[in-house]
Structure 1
Amino acid sequence: MIRDVLGIIRLPFLILAPACVLVGVAVAQWEGHALSGLNVALVILGAVLAHISVNAFNEYFDCRSGLDKLTARTAFSGGSGTLPGRPELMKLALAISVGSLAGTALIGLYFVWLHGWQLLPLGIFGLVLVVTYTIWWVNNPLMCLIAPGLGFGVLMVMGAHFALTGQYSVSSFVASLPLTCMTSNLLLLNQFPDVEADKQVGRRHFPIAFGRQASVRLYGVLLLVCYGSIVAGVIGHWLPPAALVTLATALIGWRIYRFAGQHADDIPALIPSMGLNVVINLLTPLLLAAGLFFG
């Protein structure tokens, strides 16, 4: 049973949420705010619970729609494969989804009580995004593209910053932009193996609507925006010069872009690039946070 639960929540991927939240924590520290260790822990827990919820909802809805039976899973796409083999666990997946979402909401309400109602719009939008991503957002190319970035970039970074400081800042928004682009790119490339299966259940994300090669070009554009936002942030004094250490991942991004263009329609050959895509999505927030902490 434990193995099934870990599959439903997709344990290996949950490290992304705390990595993104760490950027919001780092911005608050760089700005000179005194941070509570308890509140930092609660922010990280809330983000992880939100990630668990969206993963479990995705497992549940993909099994219910029949998509899981059509998908050829890879290490980075197609779900965990837990529910197709044990459909009796669908109720458990739904319970995990709702329970972790409720935990996120309770933590959010604590910070609303602590700092005020200004966190509510961001929090409510985040909760709606978690519940509706798999059933609404994936049916529109633009919405499906921006949803992951909004969730792990803007919402997590700015939400964490507000929860710790009681205020929004331009620096927290600027710091969220690289993560917004990177996470959208993560899901964009992970959709390549699922194009044919996703078509059959009515999904219409960017690779379906415009093709894999156009999606590779979009991947490159988002990379440029990611690194450009860091440079612009330093020039505008919204980020410290030390944040430029994040540009070190640009070499990995270039490699992914080049190989994805060469192997866009050859999924087995694309798998190493998908693995590097996970690596760059973890290194980018960690390096950015380090630049902020030591800036």
Structure 2
Amino acid sequence: MKITKFLNEIWKASRPLSLTLAFYSTTLGMAVAHLEGKLFSGNLAFDLKLIFLATLAGLFVQTGTNFINDYFECEYKNLHFSDSKKYKFLGKKRNPFDILIFLLGILSFLITALLGLYIILITTKKLLLIGLIGIIGGYAYTGEPIVYKKRGLGTPLSFVLMGPLMVMGTHLAFTHYYSWRPVFLGLPISLLIPVLMLSNELRDFERDSSLGIKTLTVRIGFKRAKFLYLTLLSSSYLLTILFVFLNLYPLTALLTLLTIPLALKAYQNAARAEKKGVPITNQLHLSFGLIQLLTLFLS
């Protein structure tokens, strides 16, 4: 096994491009804290450390989720060194690479837990419950025995865990109080998380159907999933316009409307179950979120 191929497969299993979800959600919580004058306490060294740690914790919990997802779905994808010797692991025959991916996932969750405990130590104990839900939810996405993705809950719970929960948790670390405001103001960006999940499910609809993987798209049907994709996508833009009208967002947030051509392209590809639908939807989340976060920080 060549070391370059080995490292490349680990890199692919971590799905680095998807980490914009966690990065944007943690940054969004900070942006709302900034709007409330709570991001900086007056101790710049402490504040920068907390910004770094909160971001890192979010990235590690998603990386752990990605690794665990790769481990439990690799048997369907047949990508990873299938010709190597296999060992009994967690009740199934697995090759060494697959076992390593699982262990890297658990290690990522462990690092998340340690970061979380330290953040709790220097901020507030109120973060404990949110942290536990985040780690358990990240594992259970495809991790046995729960596997809520196969129960049709992957898209809605990914939205809750990677969106509102992470946004609220990051905001809590800086403000020390629970608030629905960051969740509410974060909806335009957070709604693109289930849109990205649906682009994956639409692409894999035929495969998942044949394998009996009951994703939300398989359960409600391809046409309804396309409609849900379009509804959530449109809601991100409509909420942005509404928030500007209500003076909850600065006027410059309307610059996100410049991404509408990309949104149309993403929908067209996802609606045809094209492979390009996933990276284009990810590009949309990246550009839409970047514009909104910049306008919030600069307002």
TM-score (norm 2): 0.83
Give deviations 1:158-211, integer Å, cap 9, x for gaps: 221112222233431123212331010111011223223323443211221232
The range that moved more, 192-201 or 125-134, is: 192-201
SS of the equivalent of 2:186 reads helix
Residue type of the alignment partner of 1:285: G
Give matches, 1:157-196, under 5 Å: 157-196=167-206
Q: Which residue in the other structure is 2:36 paired with?
A: 31
CA–CA distance in structure 2, aligned partners of residues 244 and 233 of structure 1: 10
Residue type of the alignment partner of 1:93: I
Q: Which residue in the other structure is 1:43 paired with?
A: 54
Matched-pair contact (CA < 8 Å) for 2:202–2:222:
yes
CA–CA distance in structure 2, aligned partners of residues 273 and 178 of structure 1: 20
CA–CA distance in structure 2, aligned partners of residues 292 and 208 of structure 1: 37
Residue type of the alignment partner of 1:10: R
Q: Which residue in the other structure is 2:280 paired with?
A: 276
Q: Which residue in the other structure is 1:286 paired with?
A: 290
Q: 1:85 to 1:107 in 2, by over 3 A?
A: farther
Residue type of the alignment partner of 2:282: V
Residue type of the alignment partner of 2:53: L
CA–CA distance in structure 2, aligned partners of residues 166 and 111 of structure 1: 12
SS of the equivalent of 1:95 reads helix
The range that moved more, 201-210 or 130-139, is: 201-210
Deviation, 1:235, is 4.0
CA–CA distance in structure 2, aligned partners of residues 61 and 145 of structure 1: 17
Q: Which residue in the other structure is 2:44 paired with?
A: none
Q: 1:7 to 1:291 in 2, by over 3 A?
A: same
Matched-pair contact (CA < 8 Å) for 1:140–1:205:
yes
Matched-pair contact (CA < 8 Å) for 2:19–2:59:
yes
CA–CA distance in structure 2, aligned partners of residues 235 and 110 of structure 1: 40
Q: 1:167 to 1:285 in 2, by over 3 A?
A: farther
Deviation, 1:276, is 1.7
Matched-pair contact (CA < 8 Å) for 2:25–2:190:
no
Deviation, 1:237, is 4.1
Q: Which residue in the other structure is 2:89 paired with?
A: none
CA–CA distance in structure 2, aligned partners of residues 167 and 233 of structure 1: 23
Deviation, 1:85, is 6.3
Query: Gaps (5+ residues) in structure 1?
Result: 70-80
Larger radius of gyration: 2
Q: 1:8 to 1:274 in 2, by over 3 A?
A: closer
Q: Which residue in the other structure is 1:4 paired with?
A: 9
From 131, 137, 155, give the equivalent of 2:148: 137
Query: Gaps (5+ residues) in structure 2?
Result: 1-5, 41-46, 85-94
Q: Which residue in the other structure is 1:72 paired with?
A: none
Matched-pair contact (CA < 8 Å) for 1:30–1:292:
yes
**Which runs of at least 4 in structure 1 moved beyond 4 Å after TM superposition?**
83-86
Deviation, 1:39, is 0.6
Question: How many residue pairs get matched?
Answer: 275
Give deviations 1:81-128, integer Å, cap 9, x for gaps: 346466321221121111110111122222222332322222221111
CA–CA distance in structure 2, aligned partners of residues 85 and 171 of structure 1: 52
Q: Which residue in the other structure is 2:77 paired with?
A: 68
Deviation, 1:134, is 0.9
CA–CA distance in structure 1, aligned partners of residues 166 and 182 of structure 2: 10
Q: Which residue in the other structure is 1:99 paired with?
A: 107
Q: Which residue in the other structure is 1:77 paired with?
A: none
Q: CA RMSD in A?
A: 2.2
From 214, 217, 238, give the equivalent of 1:228: 238
